[in-house]
Amino acid sequence: MGIFSTNKETVDISGIKLPEHVGIIMDGNGRWAKKRGLPRTAGHKQGAETFRKIARYCSDIGIKHLTMYAFSTENWTRPVQEVETLMRYFKDYLEEALRDFADDTIALRFLGDISRFSPELQELMIKNETLSASHEGMILNLAMNYGGRDELVHAFKEMAKKIQSGELAPNDINEKLVSDYLYTKGQPDPDLIIRPSGEHRTSNFLLWQSAYSEYYIDDVLWPDYTPDHLNRALIEYSKRSRRFGGV
C-alpha cells in the first residue's frame, strides 16, 4: 500500500483501511469506442488491458478478494461478432494467466455457469482454477456468464435437490446456508462495489452478496480507468461509516 503516481496527479492511500473484498462492474467499453469513432471491439480490447492493470494493482496493494464482472448472462444477446471478439480476448487472457500465474500468488476463480462456453474455454478455466488453487495471495473472481438472479435460482435448485433427497430440511435454510450455495462460497461479501461509466444500477451483479456493500460511482469509462481512480474510491470508502442496518 502506498502512493501511486501518474503524470497528472498523485493519490496517496498510505495508512487507509482497505476493503477486504472489492467488486468492479467493468462498464463503458462500447461508449469509449463510439466516442472515438471506433468499433465496439476496440473498446473491449482496451478494456481488457485495463482489466489486467487494475487486477495486478489490487493484488500489489493488498486487496484480498477482487470480483470483476466480465460477461453477464445477458451479454449473449449482443451482436455475434462482438461476442466472438470477447471470447477471443477471454481465451488470450486465460492462456496468459496460465503462463504468468504459475509463479504468482493470485488464485483465479470463476463465478457463473461456465457450461455455455466452448470446450476450449472451459478447459482453460478449469486449468487456471486448478493450478492457482494453492496460491495464497489475492483471490481474483471472474464473473463470466454470471447473473445475480441466475446464481440465486441455481442455489435454490441445489437446495431443493437436497430437500428432496432428505439431506436438508426446509427449517435448515437460513442466510448462511444460502450463502454456502452461491458461487462465492467461503468468501466474504464485497465491502465496496465500484461502477465506472457513471451508470447508477447494479446490473444483476452479486445481488445477494451486495446487500450491505458500499457503492462508488465513477464517471470515467472503463478503458480509461486507472489505479488513481481506484485509489480515490478506496479513500472515499475509508471515510464511510458502515452500520449494517444498526446505528
How many separate helices (H) and strands (E) can be counted in the chain?
A: 7, 8
pLDDT of residue 2: 45
Residue 14 lies in a domain: no
pLDDT band at residue 241, thresholds of 50, 70 and 90?
confident
**What is the tens place of the pLDDT at every residue in 72-95?**
999 999 999 999 999 999 999 899
Give the count of domains, the chain: 1
Phi, psi for 138 (deg, rounded to 5): -65, 140
Residue 161 included in any domain: no
Mean pLDDT of 153-178: 96
- The residue-averaged pLDDT of 147-158 equals 97
Active site residue 128: no
pLDDT tens column, 2-11: 444 344 456 8
Active-site residue 27, yes or no?
A: yes
Q: Is residue 13 part of a domain?
A: no
Q: What is the pLDDT of residues 28-43, one digit of tens each?
A: 999 999 999 999 999 9
Residue 77, domain member (yes or no) = yes
The single residue of 75, 113, 180, 224 carrying the catalytic annotation is 75
pLDDT of residue 6: 40
Structural domain contains residue 153: no
Q: Which three cell numbers stand for residue 57?
A: 494493482
**Structural domain contains residue 36:** yes
Contacts of 237 (CB under 8 A, 6+ apart): 19, 191, 192, 214, 216
Residue 197, domain CATH = 3.40.1180.10
The single residue of 27, 150, 189, 191 carrying the catalytic annotation is 27
- Structural domain containing residue 27: 20-148+190-237
Q: Give residue-wise pLDDT tens across range 42-53.
A: 999 999 999 999
What residues have CB less than 8 Å from 98, skipping those under 6 apart? 124, 127, 128, 131
Residue 174 lies in a domain: no
In the chain, % of residues over pLDDT 90? 85
Integer Cα distance of 102 and 92 in angstroms: 16
Comparing C-alpha atoms, which of 165, 150, 243 is closest to residue 203? Answer: 150
Query: Do the domain assignments include residue 115?
Result: yes
